[in-house]
Amino acid sequence: MTTQSIISKSPSVSESLIRQAAEHLQQGQLVCLPTETVYAVAALLSRPPAVSQLKQIKKISGPPNWVIHLPDIASLKKIVAHPPGMALRVMKKLWPGPLAIEVPVSDADSRKLAAMIGPQTAAECIANGFITFRCPHSTASLLVLNALGEPAVMIGAGDTSAVHEAADIPEAIRNASAMVLDTGPTRYRKPSTLIRIQGDQLTFLREGILARRIIERMTDHVILFICSGNTCRSPMAAGIAALRIGGKLGIPVNELPLRRIVVDSAGLYANTGSPPAPEAVQAAADLGADISRHRSHTVTVDMLRRADLIFTMTSGHRTDVISLLPEAAVKTFNLDPDADIADPIGAGQKQYNAVARRMNELIKGRLAEIMS
From CA 46, how far away is CA 184, in angstroms rounded?
29
pLDDT tier at 83 (50, 70, 90 boundaries)? very high
CA distance 189 to 209: 8
Spatial separation of the C-alpha atoms in residues 318 and 292, rounded to whole Å: 26
Of 246, 214, 218, the residue nearest 85 (C-alpha): 218
- For residues 102 and 159, is the Cβ–Cβ distance under 8 A? no
How many Cα atoms within 13 Å fall on the side-chain side of residue 258? 7
In the chain, the percentage of residues whose pLDDT exceeds 70 is 96
Q: What is the CATH number of the domain that holds 17?
A: 3.90.870.10
204, 57: one domain: yes
Residues 27 and 160 grouped into a single domain: yes
Co-location of 224 and 212 in the same domain: no
Pair (111, 237) in one structural domain: no
233, with CB counted inside 10 A (0-12, 13-18, 19+), is buried
What's the CATH code of the domain at 268? 3.40.50.2300
Confidence of residue 355 (pLDDT cuts 50, 70, 90): very high
Mean pLDDT of the chain: 94
Q: Is 210 exposed, middle or buried (0-12, 13-18, 19+ CB in 10 A)?
A: buried
Q: Are residues 205 and 66 in the same domain?
A: yes
For residues 204 and 242, state if they share a domain: no
Does the annotation mark 189 as catalytic? no
Is 302 marked active-site?
Answer: no
Q: What is the residue range of 84's domain?
A: 4-216
pTM assigned to the model: 0.84
* 343 noted as active-site residue: yes
Paired residues of 131 in beta bridges = 103, 126
Domain boundary at 146, 181, 216, which? 216
Question: Which of these is catalytic: 47, 174, 233, 318?
Answer: 233
175 and 237 both lie in a single domain: no
Residue-level pLDDT at 1: 46
Same domain, 249 and 268: yes
Q: 89, 227, 306, 336: which is the annotated catalytic residue?
A: 227
Cα–Cα dist 258/249, whole Å = 12
SS3 label, residue 348: coil
End-to-end Cα separation, the chain, in angstroms: 57
pLDDT exceeds 70 at position 12: no
> Is the pLDDT at 11 greater than 60, yes or no?
no
Q: Are residues 256 and 157 in the same domain?
A: no
The reply to whether 143 and 247 lie within a common domain is no
| Domain's final residue, options 156, 186, 216 | 216
Residues 308-322, mean pLDDT to the nearest whole number: 98
Lowest mean pLDDT, pick from 11-15, 49-53, 154-158? 11-15
Domain count, the chain: 2
**Cβ neighbours of residue 128 closer than 8 Å, sequence gap 6 or more:** none
CA atoms within 13 A on the CB side of 149: 4
Residues 194, 239, single domain; the answer is: no
Catalytic residue among 187, 260, 343, 357: 343
Q: Which of 185, 216, 247 is the last residue of a domain?
A: 216
Mark whether 166 and 224 lie in a shared domain. Answer: no
Q: Residue 372: pLDDT above 90?
A: no
Q: Can you tell me the distance from the alpha carbon of 274 to that of 67, in angstroms, rounded to the nearest whole number?
A: 48
